[in-house]
Structure 1
Amino acid sequence: MEEPSLPWLLASLTASPSSSQLFRGNSVSLSCEDGGGAAGWTLKRNSSEGGRSQCGTYWGRPEGSTCHISFILTSDSGVYWCESSDGETSNTVNITVTGGPVILQSPVLPVMEGDNVTLHCGTRTPPSDLPAAFYKDGSLIRTEPTGHMTIRHVSRADEGLYRCDISGQGASPPSWISVTGEPTTSATPTSAAPPPPSAQLHLMFSLVCHLMVICLYCISTVLMVSLYRHRPAAWTAGNYVPVSIVMTPPTQAEQRLDEDHADVITAVTTEYHF
């Protein structure tokens, strides 16, 4: 079965062989596949006997971003992960090492919802296709004549603790199988559902109200412009009414008076000079 990718992580940890259970003395290679972003990945683990440590201290042989364990021991059982120099971490892998005669070969990574998963109940020595009974959370699922059980179209309900039992040989340790949801990248967008009738009526009412307000604004603007253009002439000078002065010609009496006045001024002026 192809291991699911983990695109949301900077790196993903894979195991070869891809089995959550191994016999004592088997070999395994754990690789940190860089997804881009962080550098300097180191394989680390947390075991019940050795605590937290990294590859190359007293277990494993580091080779780039891969750690090789040529002869695995029961003390190597534990949780493994990749860690960068920046403190970023990958997914975790739980490996169980047994000295018993039977193991349950199950995926080390979470299986994708909808995929088919095959479990194999194997023995240390041939033959490896003996009839086996498979259990989930302590309850018998079914017995398979060749030691292989396939779960088709897995769902969240298939998540749980699995083990197998071969008559006359023994039982395997239990292993947890996780199920993850389908990737969202392949999902196609769906069209939005139409609004209910009440929402449509409310929308129409709001539209009519807005149109009425706009119409009233336009009408008031036109009226104001029209009144301004046809305003009285008196408004043009700051509300002051222009005053016109009409000059009327003098009467004969006024002309005669002016002439007498002029003669008097001339006489006075002549007397003053002499």
Structure 2
Amino acid sequence: MFSLHLDNMKHPSVYLLLGVSVVLLTGGTVSKVSLINTPDLQQFFSGESMSLSCVEDGQTADGCTLKRTRGGTTEDCGASGSDFGVFKGSVCVLDLLSSYTGVYWCETSAGQRSDLINITVVHKEDRAFILEIPALPVMKGSDITLHCRHKDGSTHAAYFYRNSHIIGDKSKSQKIVIHNVQQSDEGSYWCSTDISGASPQSYLRVRDPPLPPTSSNLITASTSSGSGANDTAGYRPPTPSSPVSVLHLLCHLLVISPYCVCSILLALICCSRNSGK
């Protein structure tokens, strides 16, 4: 083991290596930014309201932009010349119109994105019913409840479908409760009645619960495979990845490897100076 003394560290390359090491260590952990929409629904009638906010590590994220894509155009909440929402404090509030159907997310100044959510807004003259279904991915093992809501605000007995198949007891129900949600429950859902047609379709996403950041999780991730979900309006998203992906593991390795190289070079420089070379 080498004994390093500050009075021997006068070579410019030593300071450079130390600086690189600090940057790599402090940049190795990236917090995940999340989009919170209230209420957590995918379908709305025009004239209703919804709010959006960005959260990072359980707190409101500073320097985060709320974005929307519709018709190939991306807009920022509260931007000049855009009708996309009004900020009230750190919350973006939307008075929904049918034209607000699109994909929503939040993005940090560093380019980190939250999950994308698909929002469908229908005019009451076009449809009588919408399906109340979560917009954000639901955790595996949780319970969710689906309702078929009429434009007057009441819930009606209806048939509920997933991927063209009736779910439940194949008769009309006031609601459908999916207990202990699993990956097999992912799919396109909608409801239908005998009198006023069907609701729009929305895709339910299921995710594994988040795992604590331990070394054993990284080892598990290196032996597992998966593909990240990348939702866009009108497309069925692929199977979501596990919380710790292979790409995440590679990012950690890319951070650790340069640090190890810097440490070795630092030790060699100090050793050379101590020997007078």
TM-score by length of structure 2 reads 0.59
1:78-227 matches, within 5 Å, as 78-99=102-123, 100-125=127-152, 128-142=154-168, 143=170, 145-185=172-212
Query: Which 4+ residue blocks in structure 1 deviate beyond 6 angstroms?
Result: none
Which has the larger Rg?
1
Q: Root-mean-square deviation (CA), in Å?
A: 2.7
**2:38 equivalent to 1:16:** yes
Distance (whole Å) between structure 2 residues aligned to residue 167 and residue 139 of structure 1: 16
Change (3 A) 1:37 1:147: closer
**2:59 equivalent to 1:53:** no
Structure 1 gap segments, 5+ residues each: 1-7, 190-274
Q: 1:62 aligns with which of 87, 90, 110?
A: 87
Change (3 A) 1:38 1:145: closer
State the shift of 1:184 in Å. 2.5
Change (3 A) 1:76 1:161: same
Distance (whole Å) between structure 1 residues aligned to residue 172 and residue 31 of structure 2: 40
Give the SS at the match of 1:169: coil
State the shift of 1:148 in Å. 0.8
Contact 1:43/1:66 (CA < 8 Å) preserved in 2?
A: no
Structure 2 gap segments, 5+ residues each: 1-29, 217-277
Contact 2:63/2:109 (CA < 8 Å) preserved in 1?
A: yes
Deviation by residue 1:77-96 (Cα, 9 ceiling, x = unmatched): 11111112222222211111
Equivalent position amino acid for 1:159 in 2: E
Distance (whole Å) between structure 1 residues aligned to residue 104 and residue 32 of structure 2: 16
Change (3 A) 1:9 1:169: farther
Distance (whole Å) between structure 2 residues aligned to residue 178 and residue 31 of structure 1: 20
Change (3 A) 1:116 1:144: farther
Distance (whole Å) between structure 1 residues aligned to residue 31 and residue 118 of structure 2: 18
* Total equivalences in the alignment: 180
Change (3 A) 1:144 1:121: farther
**2:74 equivalent to 1:44:** no
Change (3 A) 1:38 1:183: closer
State the shift of 1:17 in Å. 1.4
Distance (whole Å) between structure 2 residues aligned to residue 136 and residue 146 of structure 1: 15
Distance (whole Å) between structure 1 residues aligned to residue 132 and residue 213 of structure 2: 30
State the shift of 1:9 in Å. 5.0
Distance (whole Å) between structure 2 residues aligned to residue 39 and residue 29 of structure 1: 17
Give the SS at the match of 1:30: strand
Change (3 A) 1:9 1:146: farther
**Percent identical residues:** 39
Match of 1:32 in 2: 54
Equivalent position amino acid for 1:130 in 2: H
State the shift of 1:39 in Å. 3.2
**2:100 equivalent to 1:73:** no
Deviation by residue 1:51-72 (Cα, 9 ceiling, x = unmatched): 11111232210234321012x1
Distance (whole Å) between structure 1 residues aligned to residue 107 and residue 194 of structure 2: 42
State the shift of 1:38 in Å. 6.6
